[in-house]
Amino acid sequence: MNSGKTHDVTITRLGLRGDGIAQSPEGPLYVAGALPGETVRARVGVKRSDGFAATLEEIITPSADRVTPPCPHFGTCGGCATQSLSDAAYAAWKQEMVVSSVKRAGLDPTLVAPMVRTAANGRRRAEFAAFRPRAKGAKTFFGFHARASNMVINLETCLIVRPAIAAMIPKLRETLSDIVPPGARWDVLVTEVTNGLDIQVTANHGPGPDASMELAMFAEREDIARISWLDDDGVEPIAVRHTPVLDISGTNVEIPPGTFLQASAEAEGILSGLVCAAVHGTKIADLYCGVGTFALPLAKAGANVFAVDGDGPAVEAMARGAGLGGFGGQVSTEIRDLVRRPMMAADLKFFETVVFDPPRAGAAAQVAEIVKSPVPRVVAVSCNPATFAKDANALVAGGFKLESVTPVDQFVWSGHVELVAAFQR
């Protein structure tokens, strides 16, 4: 339901998605592409949260912070919502996201350090969409989705990904143009690893012989490390020319298909450095450890690390990497779904520091057990300031004191921001 009416409104602030927010006679409007301080004409769209999404019809009075977006796809592609915002205003907006979250938790906002910036073109993984309409003779669209839409925007380039991934965009479109079945949608995850590119196609059907052959030939032609296929039956290798390997703090780890990684190698180094500097003692629990972003550098520095995650292949890959690196005896592991089965307080009493890096939903159940344990120190990593605020509030209510928060801008031009926080009982 939407009225379709237009209103001239003044944008008061940016929301978490990078939308300009304004008040209208119909309630709050979330106007994509509008900036704080601007007077705009906006057309009311569908219901969203406590207000309505709205289309930017006209900028009546532009902001002094408005700049020309560097990407030719800005405005049609659903990513990079804030490219039209000046760099200084963008940095201040992201810093304020974390400061506001700390305030909401009832904590001291002066403990938030200045945000650490990363390069715009540092993303080493991107998930593209491929869609072929049912119309006879229709070609495949390959790129990202339009904002809040299933429509796929054909990309010619992308400014946030590593050059090797950007160079692969037109080649993938050409290869997929004839092998995506009419009406089908594929997700194509491309990851830059140490020894090339790793590609995983996700679909609701099997690859079939024709697609398998074309993808295998593509891997050979473009020297792709691996192409795999994920459907309801699991992961199937299409072509494995080299086992994908990632260098994590000087340790080579064989990466399972589709496993979670930090979005950029630069940000991974920054985050692991912050975590290593914040831990106390040598008995460390690393919860939601993944492939070892923090466990491996901690163990390499001499700590004894107990690493836990529900992603079995990732945990096993990390353990093999530690063994090959010569410090496997310092890393013990458990495969465990920490959302459904958090580490209990009794399990945590042996550790001097607990590190946790949960999904965007946060770690409420795990934090409750940390609070009940005698562990003296916690280092929290978060990709969502809102859920971090809830976890931080629970830790402080349970007897911890917040010492520091460092924001890291890993997801450039987006509404996402990473952070590392240290707590002491």
Which pLDDT tens digits describe the chain residue by residue (425 residues)? 557 899 999 999 999 889 999 999 989 999 999 999 999 999 999 998 889 999 999 999 999 999 999 999 998 998 999 999 999 999 999 999 999 999 999 999 999 999 999 999 999 999 999 999 999 888 899 999 998 788 999 999 999 999 999 999 999 999 999 899 999 999 999 999 999 999 999 999 999 999 999 999 999 999 999 999 999 999 999 999 999 999 999 999 999 999 999 999 999 999 999 999 999 999 999 999 999 999 999 999 999 999 999 999 999 999 999 999 999 899 999 999 999 999 999 999 999 999 999 999 999 999 999 999 999 999 999 999 999 999 999 999 999 999 999 999 999 999 999 999 999 99
Return d(Cα 28, Cα 206) in angstroms, integer: 45
Return d(Cα 384, Cα 101) in angstroms, integer: 9
Q: What CATH class has 6-66?
A: mainly beta
Burial 98-126 (b: 16+ CB within 10 A, else e): bbbbbebbebeeebbeebbbbebebbbbb
Task: Report the C-alpha dihedral over residues 330, 364, 273, 256, rounded to 10 degrees.
Answer: 60
What's the CATH number of domain 125-193+196-243, 3.10.450.40, 2.40.50.1070, 2.60.40.10, 2.40.128.110?
2.40.50.1070
What's the fold here for domain 90-117+257-424? Rossmann fold (3.40.50)
Record the tokens describing residue 249, joined without a space.
Answer: 């703090």
Angle at 325 between CA 320 and CA 330, to 5 degrees: 75
Return d(Cα 8, Cα 42) in angstroms, integer: 6
Return d(Cα 65, Cα 33) in angstroms, integer: 13
Largest CA distance in the chain: 66
pLDDT of 400 reads 98
Q: What is the pTM of this model?
A: 0.94
Other CB atoms within 10 Å distance of the CB of residue 323:
13
Which residues are identified as catalytic?
Answer: 383
Q: Where in the chain is the domain with CATH 3.40.50.150?
A: 90-117+257-424
pLDDT of 169 reads 96
Listed residue (142, 166, 138, 161) closest to 152, CA to CA: 142
Q: Where in the chain is the domain with CATH 2.40.50.1070?
A: 125-193+196-243
Q: Where in the chain is the domain with CATH 2.40.50.140?
A: 6-66
Those residues whose C-beta lies under 8 Å from the C-beta of residue 208, and which sit 6 or more positions away, are none
